[in-house]
Amino acid sequence: MSFRNVLLSASALLCMPLYAGNVIFDINQLITGTAPASAANPWLRATFSDVAGGVQLNLQTMNL
């Protein structure tokens, strides 16, 4: 690979968003009705992650 190609590849990579993040929602509060029996909290967790091609969501039941 030539030096020029290395530079071009590196530039392309550096121009990509370096930010890859995740957002976590902990479901831990009762709005209405009966609360889940478990005293442990959160009951549920939703995790959004930036991935190639979009956003991935992981739904998880933690303490039901």
Point out which residues bind other proteins (CB under 8 A): 3, 6-7, 10, 13-14, 16, 18-38, 42-44, 46, 48-51, 53-64
Q: How far is the CB of 18 from other proteins (least distance, A)?
A: 5
Q: How far is the CB of 12 from other proteins (least distance, A)?
A: 10
Q: How far is the CB of 41 from other proteins (least distance, A)?
A: 9
- Distance of alpha carbon 54 from alpha carbon 47, whole angstroms: 14
Nearest to 59 by CA among 27, 36, 14: 27
Nearest to 51 by CA among 25, 19, 14: 19
